[in-house]
Amino acid sequence: MTLAAVSDAGPLIHLAEIDSIELLAAFDTFLVPEIVYQEVEVGGVPDGLADLSYELVEADESQVGAEELDAGERAAIAVAEERGIVLLTDDLAAREAASDAGVEVHGSIGVIALGYDAPLDQAVETLGEYF
């Protein structure tokens, strides 16, 4: 099964914080909107992002009407909707806006579970150490 996703800033930052950004390599296609990259850049590009295979993409965030979301979140939703791929976000409001738009959406915890190929009980134990 081919996996394709686009991320807003949250998962990039949070996975980097727990030294797990390499788990994003589980996606066959991984996109980062340029505006999201700029947001991440403000706080310092996470270690490990440069080692990932990803594509910077332009997005028209104005087509997503959820004004309570920031530009990066709206851009990521726009890309996910346009390309029919998974959105990665850890923001509850962004998640709900994406779901309302028919986008499949997951967060950092899903990526950790995705990258974990050990038996279920061990995976749950590991997730418990993170959260």
Contact set with other proteins (CB under 8 A) = 1, 3, 92, 95, 106-107, 109-116, 120, 123-124, 127, 131
**Residue nearer to other proteins on the CB measure, 37 or 66:** 66
Distance (Å, whole) CA 128 – CA 109:
10
Closest distance of CB 1 from other proteins, Å: 7
Residue of 82, 68, 69 whose CA lies nearest to 6? 82
**Residue nearer to other proteins on the CB measure, 42 or 120:** 120
Closest distance of CB 34 from other proteins, Å: 26
Residues 64, 67, 72, 73: what is their CA dihedral angle, to the nearest 10 degrees? -70
Closest distance of CB 104 from other proteins, Å: 8
